[in-house]
Amino acid sequence: MLGTFRFLTTSRGHTGAFAAVHSDLDAAAYRLDTRYGDNFAEVTVSAVPEPSSVTLLVLGAGWLMARRYRRAARTPGHGRTR
């Protein structure tokens, strides 16, 4: 059910405003974004990453950076300029 859904399309344009867009989706798991144009209105549903996924991403990136730093530190002449 993730994706962009166009729920209003007109050939002559539309006027007015929506007070709110309501959904039965869990707000902690999904994010709704609305976009309005001259002749359309659409909503995009996207998944919100879990905190554990973000934590693993940060830890993995830190591990890769530390590994790269240690490998570069073992290279002779690293960081020295003449």
pTM, entire model: 0.47
Give me the pLDDT at residue 1, please.
64
Cα angle 36, 38, 14; round to 5: 95
Q: Which two tokens stand for residue 31?
A: 């994010």
Distance CA 82, CA 32 (A): 56
Sign, Cα dihedral of 36, 46, 19, 10? positive
**pLDDT digit string, tens, across residues 8-39:** 888 887 777 777 777 788 878 888 888 888 88
DSSP character at residue 16: -
Distance CA 33, CA 63 (A): 34
Give me the pLDDT at residue 38, please.
83
